[in-house]
């Protein structure tokens, strides 16, 4: 059919009511939460764009698959189905289930890192960085320079800077146990990585004898961008593109809460037998027996079905278009966002929207909190609070202060997105009224989750 309108490729079988609150109620809820939206009760949120992680709606096929879950402690049928689906998709020999992505990261990095090691990546996600730093190793971000300029249009802003990677391998190669690339690049705006760039990483890894791992949380969204934007891929299926991406690497960490279309789960998949054996031993210590790894049999079923659904063309076309639709509205109204739109989220450039709030007074938190109070929308700061704290306790603002509005998969309709866009445009029009914040409590690592603030 040649109609222009891209519709949600599903109809709704079960609905969940939204909670409407007054501005005064939201103001009180935010104060009680220490001005940190992570500490709100979700029932006080109208449209929850905090994260796309684990917040998606499962399909009727996934709910059906739950009933097929085999809850045997060892050797469950659901594990073997899950293993087969992951192997068919990635081609990796060893498939190790974990309760979510960070558990796969923890197990991989604890297995292979020693103090002083360096892990290059385009941009490490916060849990990836934390799991590297906790081993006294360095998480080195090497995204291309274009990836650091929010307004700059580039088809693959998530690409890693191959020259910078080569310099790292040349100078610090002895300390690099593996190279990682995050697809899509969440911390850099949900931006995709091209196949050409992944091929370049493979070549360098071969030249310097290094394993290459993907942080594959949003592999299907990345595959769709490659199909849309990279010459030669327009006729390939997303599944074939994904397989080619995985085929260039030696392993991956995965949060099934994103492109697994599941509410919980993840895995580590890899070819290295020795690493896999050590990882499984650690898995038993902290996650569980290798055929369930912290998950129920029904979770393994839901993930297996989700991994099959996520590469469907109708789904990916709708998914990427709905994010772009949101972005188009904000761009038309002059709201500064990372362009072009990423796959799973809109990233507002809070630092440039609120130049009167210095980075150390957290412009991202000011915007997040205003969006909540004005419209009941929950978003998240990706900036100085998330990344600014240094090892020695000092604060240095990162390259950008962003506010991310992540779009849960298959949850909100076009009118929800229209409402969210209207709310962002309204808050942006009142930007001069927004004030900065002071942090009154902040833990040493991953402080954005639990820190507390006071308005200045
Ligand atoms: C790129 C990336 N890597 C890793 C993770 C961690 O996954 P999880 O939240 O399942 O632990 C996330 C989660 O948002 C992510 O976006």
Count of Cβ atoms closer than 10 Å to residue 116 Cβ: 12
Kindly give the number of the ligand 1 atom that is closest to the alpha carbon of 185.
1
- CB-based burial, 5-14: b 16+ in 10 Å, e otherwise: ebeeeeeeee
Q: Which atom of ligand 1 is nearest to the CA of 218?
A: 1
What is the whole-number distance in angstroms between the Cα of residue 37 and the centre of ligand 1?
A: 19
pLDDT at 83: 98
Tokens of 407: 């779009």
**Angstrom distance (rounded) from CA 43 to CA 63:** 24
Alpha-carbon distance of 288 to 217, in angstroms, equals 22
What are the residues facing 47 on neighbouring strands?
A: 377
Query: How far is residue 66's CA from residue 347's CA, in Å, rounded to a whole number?
Result: 34
Please identify which residue in the block is written with the tokens 């293993």. 83
Cα 421 to ligand 1 centre (Å): 25
The pLDDT tens digits for 104-122 are 999 999 999 999 999 999 9
* Helices (H), ranges, 77-194: 77-90, 101-112, 126-133, 162-172
103 CA distance to ligand 1 middle (Å): 10
What is the rounded distance in angstroms from the CA atom of residue 338 to the CA atom of residue 192? 13
Q: What spacing in Å lies between the alpha carbon of 325 and ligand 1's midpoint?
A: 24
CA pair distance 71, 96, nearest whole angstrom: 17
Residue 217 CA to ligand 1 centre (angstroms): 7
Instruction: Tell which atom from ligand 1 comes closest to the C-alpha of 187.
Output: 1
Q: Which of 255, 264, 265 to mutate to test the pocket of ligand 1 (most atoms within 8 A of CB)?
A: 255
Q: Please tell me the residue having the least CA distance from ligand 1 atom 14.
A: 53
First to last CA, the chain: 55
**Distance (Å, whole) CA 341 – CA 417:** 14
Cross-strand pairs, 182: 215
Distance separating alpha carbons of residues 121 and 140, to the nearest angstrom: 6
Q: Please name which of 233, 310, 253 lies closest in space to residue 101, comparing C-alpha atoms.
A: 253
Q: Whose CA is nearest to atom 9 of ligand 1?
A: 101
64 Cβ contact partners less than 8 Å away, ≥ 6 residues apart: none
From atom 16 of ligand 1, which residue's Cα is the shortest distance away? 186
pLDDT, residue 1, reads 67
Most ligand 1 atoms within 8 A of CB, residue of 50, 54, 186 to mutate: 186
According to DSSP, the β-strands at 118-121 and 138-141 are parallel
Q: How far is 256 from 303, CA to CA, in rounded Å?
A: 7
How far away, in angstroms, is 253 Cα from ligand 1 center? 9
* Backbone dihedral angles phi then psi of residue 253, each to the nearest 5 degrees: -105, 150
Ligand 1 atom with the smallest distance to the CA of 104 is 11
Pocket, ligand 1, Cβ cutoff 6 A: 53, 100-102, 125, 127-128, 182, 186, 215, 217, 255, 257, 266
> How confident is the prediction along the chain (456 residues), in pLDDT tens digits per residue?
678 888 999 999 999 999 899 999 999 999 999 999 999 999 999 999 999 999 999 999 999 999 999 999 999 999 999 999 999 999 999 999 999 999 999 999 999 999 999 999 999 998 999 999 999 999 999 999 999 888 899 999 999 999 999 999 999 999 999 999 999 998 888 999 999 999 999 999 999 999 999 999 999 999 999 999 999 999 999 999 999 999 999 999 999 999 999 999 999 999 999 999 999 999 999 999 999 999 999 999 999 999 999 999 999 999 999 999 999 999 999 999 999 999 999 999 999 999 999 999 999 999 999 999 999 999 999 999 998 988 888 999 998 899 999 999 999 999 999 999 999 999 999 999 999 999 999 888 888 999 999 999
Planar angle of CA 387, 294, 211, nearest 5 degrees: 60
Out of 103, 122, 125, 158, mutate this one to test ligand 1's pocket (max ligand atoms within 8 Å of CB): namely 125
Strands (E), 40-88: 47-48
Residue 4, pLDDT score:
86
Centre of ligand 1 to C-alpha 248, Å, is: 21
Residue located via tokens 């493979």: 202
Spatial contact of 146 and 154, defined as CB atoms under 8 Å apart: yes
Reduce the DSSP state of residue 402 to 3 states and report it: strand
What are the helix (H) ranges across 287-413? Answer: 297-309, 313-332, 350-353, 363-375, 384-387
**435 in Cβ contact with 455 (< 8 Å):** yes
332 CA to middle of ligand 1, Å?
31
How far is the C-alpha of 228 from the C-alpha of 214, rounded, in Å? Answer: 21
Separation of 127 CA from ligand 1 center, angstroms? 7
């Amino acid at each position: 059919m040649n109609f222009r309108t891209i519709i949600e490729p599903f109809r709704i079988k079960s609905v969940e009511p939204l909670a409407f609150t007054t501005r005064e109620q939201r103001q009180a809820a935010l104060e009680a939460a220490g001005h940190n939206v992570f500490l709100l009760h979700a029932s006080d949120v109208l449209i929850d764009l905090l994260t796309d992680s684990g917040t998606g709606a499962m399909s009727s096929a996934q709910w059906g698959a739950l009933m097929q879950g085999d809850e045997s402690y060892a050797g469950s049928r659901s594990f073997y189905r899950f293993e087969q689906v992951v192997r068919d998709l990635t081609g990796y020999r060893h498939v190790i289930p974990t309760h979510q992505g960070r558990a796969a990261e923890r197990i991989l990095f604890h297995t292979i890192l020693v103090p002083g090691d360096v892990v290059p990546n385009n941009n490490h996600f916060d849990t990836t960085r934390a799991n590297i730093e906790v081993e006294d190793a360095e998480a080195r971000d090497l995204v291309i320079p274009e990836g650091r300029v929010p307004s700059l249009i580039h088809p693959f802003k998530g690409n890693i800077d191959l020259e910078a990677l080569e310099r790292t391998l040349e100078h610090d190669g002895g300390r690099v146990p593996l190279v990682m690339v995050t697809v899509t690049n969440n911390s850099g705006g949900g931006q995709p990585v091209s196949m050409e760039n992944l091929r370049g990483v493979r070549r360098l890894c071969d030249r310097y004898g290094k394993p290459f791992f993907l942080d594959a949380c949003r592999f299907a969204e990345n595959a769709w961008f490659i199909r849309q934007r990279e010459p030669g891929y327009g006729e390939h299926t997303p599944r074939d593109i994904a397989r080619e991406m995985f085929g260039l690497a030696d392993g991956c960490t995965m949060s099934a809460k994103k492109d697994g279309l599941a509410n919980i789960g993840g895995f580590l998949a890899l070819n290295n037998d020795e690493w896999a054996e050590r990882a499984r031993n650690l898995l038993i210590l902290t996650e569980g027996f290798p055929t369930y790894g912290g998950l129920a049999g029904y979770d393994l079923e839901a993930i297996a079905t989700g991994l099959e659904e996520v590469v469907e063309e109708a789904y990916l076309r709708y998914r990427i278009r709905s994010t772009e639709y949101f972005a188009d509205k904000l761009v038309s109204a002059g709201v500064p966002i990372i362009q072009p739109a990423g796959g799973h989220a809109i990233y507002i450039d809070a630092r440039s929207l609120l130049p009167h709030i210095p980075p150390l007074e957290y412009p991202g938190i000011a915007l997040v909190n205003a969006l909540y109070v004005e419209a009941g929308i929950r978003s998240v700061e990706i900036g100085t609070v998330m990344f600014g704290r240094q090892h020695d306790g000092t604060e240095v603002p990162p390259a950008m202060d962003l506010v991310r509005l992540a779009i849960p998969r298959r949850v909100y309709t076009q009118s929800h997105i229209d409402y969210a866009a209207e709310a962002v445009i309204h808050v942006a029009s009142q930007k001069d009224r927004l004030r900065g914040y002071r942090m009154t409590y902040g833990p040493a690592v991953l402080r954005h989750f639990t820190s507390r603030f006071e308005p200045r």
